Chain A
Amino acid sequence: MSRKYEFDDSSAVVVIGSGAGGGVLGAELAFQGIDVVCLEAGERLGLADFVNDEALMFRKLTWLDPREGSGDLNPGLPAYICKTVGGTTVHWTALAMRPLADEFAALTKYGAIDGAKLMDWPIEYKDLTRYFAKAEFKMGVAGTNNWPYHPGSNNYKVLEAGARKLGYREIDMGHLAINSVARDGRPPCRQIGFCKSGCAIGAKWSTLYTEIPKAEASGHFELRPESMVVGLNHAPDGRITGVVYADKDGVIHEQKARAVCIAANSIETPRLLLNSASSLYPDGIGNANGHVGRHYMRHVFAGVAALMPGPVNFHRGIQQAGSISDERYHQAGRGFASGYHMEGAPLSPERLASVLEPNGWGRDYAELIEQYTNFSACLVVGEDLPDPENRVQLHASRKDSNGLPIPTIHYQYHANSVAMREHAQAAVNDIYAAIGAKQTFNFGAPPATHNLGTCRMATDEKEGVCDPWGQVFGTSNLFISDGSQFVSSTTANPTLTIVALAIRQAEQLGRRFVQREL
């Protein structure tokens, strides 16, 4: 049964956010018998709310509160993340990939790069191995734990055939956190498509219907949806004492807390720290060295659509149509550091019509769109570099409905990212050409779903916002528990690493609670 905690009950850990970071951390704490109040800005939907309608679900799931992007970002929608219980695990395409071991030492591996501020992570791959395994088991990742890979879809088969012709070897349907067999009380995938609109049968792992109900059943967890956190209160000694939030009617509450873990995604997490400035923390909590909000990273992200000689019907089946990984390895002589994955992904008719040519119109263009069934498409996802000037800040004048400054996000592509993107799009073009594509079309990235690095971890507090366990420097009971901790973006899609870090953090917090250190 779900517990209820009083506002002035300071025995619970308050977890802010219910996605890959907060949903997992909160559940892992509750399973240890530690009381948790989980505050989530979005509403709680059920499987019945997930309909196969991209436009409708986009409006229902996406974080559309006002934000301003600058530089190379879409000004009105700088990032594409969720505001719903389960966070981005509701709309993710479920690629649960491990980074390469040496990617945790980005500076050592690539060397210093002008215009970027590379740093090695203060932890190593081997510190996370155990947690990656736990995360894969928890999430039911196909291709691990003797669970079969998903069968290849049409879109996958096109890419695979082209890639094999070119000699690529690391080609598979991907480590997808989608049930390939029935397990954990959830059915196997039925190739519905619409993974990004929320999985209507719950075959895809999302904290919404896995960790959160299990945490509630533990008797140590209360979820409060539609609760938008607006500030953190602290004692004169800096200890965080409570979390201030607005409920769905805009009524402000303070929930007292034993410790606070922020997992609100890489824009809202630093925004909250900045918006919680006080006389003790004049530039925001954890910001004594000015790193809060800096080093904002995404992934190098772009796409290629190809008109094939026969029907593909790429809209059918799992949206994440496999992964080609041969180009993920850092190689000298390609003109850029690190590497990228090629990941099959369909386009809806609406997206196809938008992206084939930015100003496309007229009879030829309409005829192209009429060949929808013969298209294949593929995204490239590569490592982005940390740059302190790419950052989340507070807007000087614009306020949200709670009266708080809205976040501004500035991001500019590094030359390394531009070179990588061009290489990657050319590689995908070659794959499609090898299998007889009639025409190919490069397209740019939509607003980013991978948002990382704005409260990065470091050994030395002069270099980051939190320590290697996620504890915010200069505080005794405040933690970062999402992708904001990332020191580098790695070539892997980030969710598995976020989940692994959350499991590890929950274990450490549990130990410290038992030892009464917290």
Chain B
Amino acid sequence: MFQKARSADDGLGSPARRKLLQAGALLIALVSTHSRIAFSRDEADPHLGQSLQQLARRLFPHDQLPDEPYGEIASSLVSRASTDSKLAGILRAGVAQLDKGGLKPWMNRDEASQLAAINRIMGSEFFRLVRSACIEHLYRNKEVWQLLGYQGSSVEFGGYVDRGFDDIDWLPTRSKAK
């Protein structure tokens, strides 16, 4: 949540948005897309969104999860970038960096080469930005909470006073608060 507060100052006006849309239109003309990855958003640059979605899954792979939560991370980044040219630049350059040096675009490579490419960008601004977005979206997602065993809101159930706040049973000696 602190990452979110930090980025709140980054908002830019609509000229940036127009620029990005133009850039996106140019890209769409250049990049051919034939991906299996679901990316339903009406988006000017499918390659960017699809790469980000795949990156999100590689960063935090939970095999039980469908594509939707990962797609949401990508679409939220792309949508923020549509009003933030600095962010748009970082995202585009980051994906270009991943794509660099291979015969195929990064997202169409095998898992091992995808991971190797991520290792090369680890710690970069792009990496930290996508990682933060992943954490913010994935781990606020109720479907993911279920997977983790996090029970979330409790007030409507009367809290945890009768629902296991002190039910630990594996400690060597039972202890009691004084």
Which residues of A does B touch, CB under 8 Å?
A: 51-55, 58, 62, 64, 66, 74-77, 80, 149-154, 156-158, 160-161, 164, 171-173, 189-194, 200-201, 309-313, 315-318, 322, 348-354, 359, 361-363, 365-366, 369-370, 372-373, 435, 446-447
Question: A52-B155, A75-B6, A191-B160 given as contacts; is B61 within 8 A of A370 (CB)?
Answer: no
Q: Is B151 in contact with A190, judged by CB distance below 8 angstroms?
A: no
Asked if A152 meets B149 with Cβ closer than 8 Å, knowing A316-B160, A317-B166, the reply is no
How many Å lie between the Cα of A77 and that of B6 in the bound state? 6
Judge if B12 is at the interface, Cβ distance under 8 Å. Answer: no
With beta carbons under 8 angstroms apart, the residue of A74, A189, A349, A373 that contacts B2 is A74
Q: How far is the CA of A435 from the CA of B171 in the complex (A)?
A: 8
B175 contact from A74, A152, A313, Cβ within 8 A: A152
CB-CB contacts below 8 Å: B77-121 with A? 115, 118
Chain A CB count within 10 A is highest, among B2, B61, B136, B164, for B2
Can you list the 7 inter-chain pairs with the closest CB atoms, starting with the nearest?
Answer: A190-B159, A317-B165, A52-B153, A152-B177, A310-B170, A192-B159, A76-B6
CA distance A53 to B1 in the complex (A): 12
Given A52-B155, A373-B149, also A153-B139 (CB < 8 A) = no
- Tell whether, in the assembled complex, residue B6 and residue A366 are in contact, meaning their CB atoms are under 8 Å apart: no
Q: Is the C-beta of B28 less than 8 angstroms from some C-beta in chain A?
A: no
Q: B62 an interface residue at 8 Å Cβ cutoff?
A: yes
Instruction: State in angstroms the CA–CA spacing of A133 and B58 once bound together.
Output: 56
Contact B60 A361 (CB under 8 A): yes
* Nearest CB of B to A191, in Å: 4
**CB-defined A-B contacts under 8 Å, sample of 26:** A51-B153, A55-B1, A74-B2, A74-B6, A151-B177, A158-B168, A161-B173, A191-B159, A193-B160, A310-B168, A310-B170, A311-B149, A313-B149, A315-B150, A316-B151, A316-B154, A317-B161, A318-B165, A350-B135, A350-B139, A351-B1, A354-B132, A359-B128, A361-B59, A362-B59, A372-B149
- Residue of B61, B161, B166 touching A366 (CB-CB under 8 A): B61
Which residue of B is nearest A57, CB measured? B1
Q: Which residues of B contact A313 (CB under 8 A)?
A: 149, 151, 164-165, 167-168
Contact B178 A149 (CB under 8 A): yes
Chain B: interface secondary structure?
loop
Query: What is the number of contacts between chain A and chain B, taking CB atoms within 8 Å?
Result: 177
The chain B residue with its CB closest to the CB of A148 is B177
Q: Name which residue of chain A comes closest to B123, CB basis.
A: A359
- Return A295 CB to nearest CB of chain B, in Å: 25
Q: Would A194 and B154 count as touching, CB distance under 8 A?
A: yes
Proximity bits, B113-156, A CB within 8 Å = 1, else 0: 00100100011000110011001101110001101111111110
The answer to whether B148 and A157 have CB atoms under 8 Å apart is no
A170 CB to nearest chain B CB (Å): 10
Interface residues of B in 31-57 (CB under 8 A from A): none
| B60 to A: closest C-beta gap in Å | 5
Q: Are A52 and B154 in contact (CB under 8 A)?
A: yes
Pairwise interchain contact B8-A76, C-beta atoms closer than 8 A: yes
CA distance A316 to B152 in the complex (A): 9
* With A161-B175, A350-B139 as contacts: A153 and B166 at CB distance below 8 Å: yes
How far apart are the CA atoms of A309 and B172 in the complex, in Å? 12
What separation, in Å, do the CA atoms of A172 and B61 have in the docked complex? Answer: 39
A348 touching B150 by the CB < 8 A rule?
yes
Per-position 1/0 for B2-32, Cβ under 8 A of A? 1111111100000000000000000000000
A-side contacts of B66, CB under 8 Å: none
Interchain CA distance A352-B1 in the complex, whole Å: 12
Q: Is the interface of A mostly helix, strand, loop or mixed?
A: loop
Residue of A nearest to B158 (CB): A190
Beyond A53-B153, A76-B5, A317-B160: 4 further Cβ-contacts under 8 Å?
A74-B2, A194-B155, A350-B135, A366-B60
Chain B residue at minimum C-beta to C-beta distance from A317:
B165
Which residue of B is nearest A318, CB measured?
B165
B155 and A156 contacting across the interface, CB-CB below 8 Å: no
Contact between chains at A361 and B177 (CB < 8 Å) = no
Q: Report yes or no: B177 in contact with A149, Cβ–Cβ below 8 A.
A: yes
Q: What residues of B have a CB within 8 angstroms of the CB of A158 in the complex?
A: 168, 171
Q: A190-B159, A193-B159, A201-B155 are in contact. Are A353 and B166 (CB under 8 A)?
A: no
Pair A153/B62 contact, Cβ less than 8 Å:
no
User: With A190-B158, A361-B59, A369-B148 known to touch, is A154 a contact of B178 (CB < 8 Å)?
Assistant: no
> A193 to chain B: which residues have CB within 8 Å?
154, 159-160
Residue in B closest to A47 when the chains form the complex, CB atoms:
B155
Q: A194-B154, A362-B59, A369-B60 are in contact. Are A349 and B166 (CB under 8 A)?
A: no
Q: A154 to B170: give the CA distance in the assembly, Å.
A: 11
Known contacts being A316-B165, A362-B59, is A173 close to B177, with CB within 8 Å? yes
A365 near B177 with CB under 8 A, answer no
A362 touches B58 (CB 8 A): yes
Q: Across the two chains, which residue of chain A brings its CB closest to B173?
A: A161
For A161, give its contact among B159, B161, B172 (CB under 8 Å). B172
Q: Which of B59, B136, B161, B176 lies in contact with A350, CB distance below 8 A?
A: B136
Most-contacted residue by chain A among B4, B175, B177 (CB, 10 A) = B177
Q: Chain B residues with Cβ under 8 A from A171's Cβ?
A: 178
Q: Which residues on the A side are within 8 Å of B170 (C-beta)?
A: 309-311
A354 in complex: contacting residue of B135, B163, B167, CB < 8 Å: B135
A58 touches B1 (CB 8 A): yes
